[in-house]
Amino acid sequence: MDRRMISVDRWSDGSQAYFLTHLHADHTAGLSPAWNRGPLFCSRTTAKLFPFKFPGFRLSLLRIVDVGRWHSLSLVSPSSGLQTAVEAMAIDAHHCPGSVMYLFRGEFGYMLYTGDFRWQAASKRAQIGRTMLLNAIKNERVDILYLDNTYCNPSYSFPSREVAAQQVVDIITSHPEHDIVIGIDTLGKKDLLLYILRVLKIKIWVWPERLQIMHLLGFHDIFTTKTSLTRIRAVPRYSFSIDTLEGLNSMHPTIGIMPSGFPWAAKSVRANKNPFGSSSVRHRKASKGSKVVGTCTNPNVKTVEQYHQHIYSVPYSDHSCFSEILDFVKLLRPVHLKGIVSSSCSHVDPIYYLGHLLEKINHQGGYIGSLQIKREVEELKVSKPNLLLELVILLRQNGKGGVVDDLIF
């Protein structure tokens, strides 16, 4: 996407419109209460939570993008300098409260930016999103897909959130005398907490900041900040460590549960950090002797692992696993694909696993393969620069501006 027109989850100067997919910190880096670079588009729920995350922010800059409706913007084309119409549609990303993907259409063609997303094909919400997306695209194609590639690797296979949530409940019910501590962030894992509440009919302790968010989301009376009312506590991830769990166990038997699609201990080890606070390495990875709890029947799908005598890791993820990413890319048949995650220790360029699929799709669909265009443009750049300009104009007229911009800049 041409950042001189639109930026998504990027907040530096130079764009005409800024879009926010959701409020997780890695997508808001650069935003502050003093930010005032232009209109900021976001979902209705994100707008509701925004003042809590950025108190003092000029709320007149916020523009709400309702899910499932095209919103028109009049921007200036960086290539022609003329006014050009761009439309944007938000689609539920099923990731955390307020999270959406954005589908754009304009002189650049169709572009989809997923932000972080979970694409559980069997879930009703994903089915609604799928219908919405296909209806919006109709017979056109997605020229560029910006993809949440957090788990874009075949080794990442985990169950649905419902199955993982039941695994958490199983751990809790198999420790009836224990206190339970669950590591979460400020915004995510809402559905997990609601599942536990519904099945076990028990309140959950949350820290004051998280309680305010649950109130803003309309959940009153089911969460508490009084420890005497419940044995289940959802705590910030940063406070979840072996040291904490051992300290708690010196007072009362306590089990820690870390819900994540990425193996919790492995993640920190690969990042070259001690995952267990200041303790020396006293954990063990899941092995034959590890206790396994859960209902998932696919032997290839990750299930519960006990990393430490007090700690369980449950594969509950708000991101898509590899097979879900694969389904999504097959459904959309994009011409180009770019991963939006490049800095994590698990990063793999999605082209490595999905590139062959795109080429195959391009040929089957009758489109000119992107690599073929790229080769032709490279040759023209050297041999016939004037012809290159003609090709650019021709492709733009045929709605392939996004492709051309991508190749040239």
Binding positions for Zn ion, rule: CB under 5 A: 24, 116
Sequence-distant (≥ 6) Cβ neighbours of residue 207 within 8 angstroms? 225, 234, 235, 236
CA separation, residue 303 to residues 258, 295, 296 (Å): 12, 8, 7
Separation between Cα atoms, residue 256 and residue 254, nearest integer Å: 7
Task: Pick between residue 91 and residue 311 the one whose CB is nearest to Zn ion.
Answer: 91
- State the first-to-last Cα distance of the chain, in angstroms, to the nearest integer: 11
Phi-psi map region of 290: left, alpha, beta (phi>0 left; psi -120 to 50 alpha):
beta
Q: How many residues does the chain have?
A: 409
Separation between Cα atoms, residue 2 and residue 37, nearest integer Å: 17
Minimum CB–partner distance for residue 22 and Zn ion (Å): 6
Task: Pick between residue 47 and residue 93 the one whose CB is nearest to Zn ion.
Answer: 93
Task: Pick between residue 40 and residue 391 the one whose CB is nearest to Zn ion.
Answer: 40
Nearest to 65 by CA among 84, 80, 86: 86
Q: Are 203 and 234 in contact (CB under 8 A)?
A: no
**According to the 3-state scheme, what is the secondary structure of 367-405?**
CCCHHHHHHHHHHHHHHCHHHHHHHHHHHHHCCCHHHHH
Task: Pick between residue 180 and residue 193 the one whose CB is nearest to Zn ion.
Answer: 193
Task: Pick between residue 29 and residue 394 the one whose CB is nearest to Zn ion.
Answer: 29
Minimum CB–partner distance for residue 97 and Zn ion (Å): 11
Minimum CB–partner distance for residue 283 and Zn ion (Å): 26
Nearest to 200 by CA among 182, 218, 185: 182
Separation between Cα atoms, residue 92 and residue 109, nearest integer Å: 21
Nearest to 197 by CA among 227, 160, 234: 234
Task: Pick between residue 115 and residue 350 the one whose CB is nearest to Zn ion.
Answer: 115
Q: Which residues pair with 31 in a beta bridge?
A: 29
Token pair, residue 192, equals 């997990």
Task: Pick between residue 24 and residue 283 the one whose CB is nearest to Zn ion.
Answer: 24
Token pair, residue 311, equals 């700690």
Pairing of strands 40-42, 17-19: parallel
Task: Pick between residue 187 and residue 232 the one whose CB is nearest to Zn ion.
Answer: 187
Instruction: Give the three-class secondary structure for 314.
Output: strand
**Phi/psi at 371 (nearest 5 deg)?**
-70, -35
Task: Pick between residue 24 and residue 233 the one whose CB is nearest to Zn ion.
Answer: 24
Token pair, residue 401, equals 């501006």
Q: Are 245 and 275 in contact (CB under 8 A)?
A: no
**Phi/psi at 23 (nearest 5 deg)?**
-95, 10
Task: Pick between residue 109 and residue 188 the one whose CB is nearest to Zn ion.
Answer: 188
